[in-house]
Amino acid sequence: MGILFLLAVFALCVLIGTPVAFALGIAAISAFWFEGLPLMIGFQRIVSGINVFSLMAIPFFIFAGELMFHGGIAMRLVRFASAAVGAVRGGLGIVNVFSSMLFGGISGSAIADISALGSILVPVMKEKGYDADYAVNVTVTSSIAGIIIPPSHNMIIFAIAAGGGVSISKLFLAGVVPGILMCICLAVAAYLVAVRRGYQAEKFPGWRALLLSFVSAIPGLLTAVIIVGGVLSGIFTVTESGAFGAIYAFVVTLIVYRSITWENFCIAVSSAVRTTAMVMILIACAGAFAYMLTFYRVPDKTVELLTGLTENPIMILLMINVVLLVLGMIMDMAALILICTPIFLPVANSLGIDPLQFGMILLVNLGLGLCTPPVGSCLFVGCAVGKLPMEKAVRTIWPFYLAILVALMLITFVPAISMTLPNLIG
């Protein structure tokens, strides 16, 4: 009865338009009251949800990404990607994918990826004769590379939700190959659709232009190398690497590129503060909500339910993927990481799935949800940037969904994709 009350209050709050973070907090406190537990404990759980040292890395990563977004680094990455792969048939679609891979590995944000790259590439693709729906679909689906390829603040949230027993540095390593694999699948889809629609190739600018564009992009690319490399080498903790990454991003955009203005700096600071506040409130309230899920033994009952339906690990993993995909369509990603991790991680552990691999499965599933209606935030932003009605984008986006699903199935059933780098280097 208690779990039904908890979920009913949460569902009611969402239906009447309450932000997800507050809906989680209200539902959790209501459940404390329903069970006769001291409300003070509930508020203590909310506060303790963000009383974690590793979470200090999140505002630094977000700020570094905002500086990259507003500091002109995206344009240099696009130039490099265009010079490298633009000569392929339908090359601007592939440029879009690999620009997202490069920029996503720096910003760690799907929305920042769409905002930065979409505003540059979508108009250019339209001018070159590409259909608007193709330009938007490539931009939207490739943006989730920022969630998978390190550094990613969503990985930090997953590590916290997993109980703190998952190494963030190993999570960073685990995301490299899955992120690249997903981008390769999307590039193949972009190429096949471009061939079917008859898009032409761009002219190869020459090796000199390729080299110059690469040299210009190096300072920006080094941001991810410094952050991840510093953590793996033991020079920095995750929090220290985030702080250093933010300082480095500021120095690059101010002194090396000289591309950030005072106005853009203020916008970056303001946006980082707003995003950090939203993430922290969400984590705090979700901590109390997750406590009540544990109180009602939801993780244990989920294991019993799934193993009761079938003992086939393949079927159980498929069911988990379907549930995560459906939830990703209707809820915010960070909230789902905090809610679903304590529920499904024990199921994955019972099947012998390493937490690192499960983290990649979770992130790819929820990333796809960001591109899927009715609540796909990336899809909404991409359509706004491309000035395209969402129904037109959804009508032709299925080849790119299929590409991500292929990558997801490989990540789910081939552990080496996620585990090889952590086992070799970690």
Q: Render pLDDT for 329-379 as a digit per residue (tens, 0 to 9).
A: 777 787 788 888 888 888 888 888 899 999 999 999 988 888 887 667 788
What's the pTM value of the predicted model, to 2 decimals? 0.82
Q: Do residues 304 and 346 make contact, with C-beta atoms less than 8 angstroms apart?
A: no
Residue 176 has pLDDT above 80, yes or no: yes
The answer to whether residue 154 sits within a structural domain is: yes
The answer to whether residue 376 sits within a structural domain is: yes
**Residues 6 and 81 both lie in one domain:** no
d(C-alpha 369, C-alpha 364), whole Å: 9
Residue 108 has pLDDT above 70, yes or no: no
State which residues form the domain around 7: 1-48+279-295
Residue 322 CB contacts under 8 Å (≥ 6 apart), including other chains: none
**Residues 2 and 150 both lie in one domain:** no
d(C-alpha 171, C-alpha 149), whole Å: 10
pLDDT recorded at residue 178? 93
CA 85 to chain CA centroid, Å, is: 24
The answer to whether residue 345 sits within a structural domain is: yes
**Residues 237 and 364 both lie in one domain:** yes
188-202 residue pLDDT tens = 999 899 888 888 777
d(C-alpha 260, C-alpha 268), whole Å: 10
Q: Do residues 207 and 270 make contact, with C-beta atoms less than 8 angstroms apart?
A: no
**Tokens found for residue 80:** 């490099």
374-410 residue pLDDT tens = 667 788 778 887 888 878 888 888 999 999 999 999 9
d(C-alpha 121, C-alpha 77), whole Å: 11
Residue 114 has pLDDT above 80, yes or no: no
The answer to whether residue 269 sits within a structural domain is: no
**Residues 41 and 104 both lie in one domain:** no
d(C-alpha 205, C-alpha 414), whole Å: 39
Residue 101 has pLDDT above 70, yes or no: yes
Residues 57, 420, 187: CA angle, nearest 5 degrees: 80
d(C-alpha 208, C-alpha 203), whole Å: 14
Last residue of a domain, which of 233, 268, 295?
295
The answer to whether residue 78 sits within a structural domain is: yes
Q: Do residues 77 and 30 make contact, with C-beta atoms less than 8 angstroms apart?
A: no
pLDDT recorded at residue 404? 94
* DSSP assignment string, 49-113: TT--GGGGHHHHHHHHHHHHHHTTHHHHHHHHHHHHHTTSTTHHHHHHHHHHHHHHHHH--HHHH
DSSP 204: P
**Residues 289 and 251 both lie in one domain:** no
Q: Do residues 354 and 419 make contact, with C-beta atoms less than 8 angstroms apart?
A: yes
Cα–Cα distances in angstroms (integers) from residue 269 to residues 127, 156, 334, in the given order: 33, 21, 21
Helix (H) or strand (E) holding 326, with range, is helix 313-330
**Residues 22 and 136 both lie in one domain:** no
d(C-alpha 101, C-alpha 183), whole Å: 7
Other CB atoms closer than 10 Å to residue 207's CB: what's the count?
9
**Residues 149 and 248 both lie in one domain:** yes
pLDDT recorded at residue 364? 93
Other CB atoms closer than 10 Å to residue 399's CB: what's the count?
17
pLDDT recorded at residue 357? 93
The answer to whether residue 267 sits within a structural domain is: no
Q: What percent of the chain stands above pLDDT 90?
A: 12
**Residues 38 and 142 both lie in one domain:** no
**Residues 288 and 317 both lie in one domain:** no
The answer to whether residue 341 sits within a structural domain is: yes
**Residues 290 and 345 both lie in one domain:** no
20 pLDDT band (50/70/90 cuts)?
A: confident
**Residues 312 and 291 both lie in one domain:** no
First to last CA, the chain: 44
Other CB atoms closer than 10 Å to residue 225's CB: what's the count?
12
Cα–Cα distances in angstroms (integers) from residue 386 to residues 52, 72, 128, 136, 174, in the given order: 39, 20, 14, 6, 33
The answer to whether residue 407 sits within a structural domain is: yes
**Residues 325 and 364 both lie in one domain:** yes
Last residue of a domain, which of 295, 319, 354?
295
104 pLDDT band (50/70/90 cuts)?
A: low
Domain count, the chain: 2
Q: Which of 22-36, 40-54, 252-266, 308-322 is predicted least confidently? A: 40-54
